[in-house]
Amino acid sequence: MKKYGLLAFMAATLLFTGCSQKTVEMENTTPTPTNSESSLNTVETTDNSGMTADNMTTDGKGNYFVVNGKKVFVESIYFGFDKFKLTEDQRKVASDNASKLKGLSGSVKIEGNCDEWGTDEYNYALGLKRAKVVKDALVSDGIASNSISIVSFGESNPVCSEKTKECWAKNRRAEYKPLP
């Protein structure tokens, strides 16, 4: 009798605590913003080291860094739906970013971001994987590992809030942020 009661309890528990999943069919496309786009939102900011990075973008396309007294634009890295590996195109962007960051006196923070699809926990883990793969690319291109930190924002830091494929693609990114 205890055996049947335990089985009934387990069946009821599984029935009422099942996980819901959001599913969507997506094309595996990633936006490739260019430096010539004129619609960049800008804000002036100063970090703790006193180094001013004016016109720092806030729309997810990238950020400006001051390297050896020159302002350089470092592009964000974009990912496919439910992906964290770099495509060939995005690996080239990461390599270009690494060459721009050589000689940086401060540190870099890589922020992993996701679209709204998936649970919060899943998206935080995916964002961390995205940040880590970008850090690994920087390290392989000669940037010191101890000058790079990573963080995941999951789906909590969107740059676009429309319910479209193009918007979701903009949110699947890793951004570079300057640290003192």
Q: Give the model confidence (pLDDT) of 93-134 as tens digits.
A: 999 999 999 988 889 999 999 988 889 899 999 999 999 999
- In this structure, what DSSP letter does residue 69 have? T
109 part of a folded domain = yes
Number of independent structural domains in the chain: 1
How far CA 68 is from CA of 63, 72, 100, 160, in Å, comes to: 16, 10, 10, 33
Residue-number span of the structural domain to which 95 is assigned: 77-179
118 part of a folded domain = yes
Are 38 and 49 spatial neighbours (Cβ–Cβ below 8 Å)? no
52 part of a folded domain = no
User: Exposure of 19 by Cβ count < 10 A (0-12 exposed, 13-18 middle, 19+ buried)?
Assistant: exposed
Sheet (strand 77-78) strand order: 77-78, 173-179, 107-113, 148-154
CA distance 63 to 58: 8
14 part of a folded domain = no
Secondary structure element (H or E) that encloses residue 173, with its range: strand 173-179
111 part of a folded domain = yes
CATH number at residue 127: 3.30.1330.60
pLDDT digits (tens, 9 = 90+) for 9-57: 555 554 444 444 433 333 333 444 433 333 333 233 333 333 334 444 4
Q: What is the pTM of this model?
A: 0.66
114 part of a folded domain = yes
Phi/psi of residue 146, nearest 5 degrees: -75, -5
pLDDT digits (tens, 9 = 90+) for 140-162: 999 999 999 999 998 888 888 88
CA distance 66 to 59: 19
CA distance 173 to 83: 10
CA distance 129 to 132: 5
35 part of a folded domain = no
84 part of a folded domain = yes
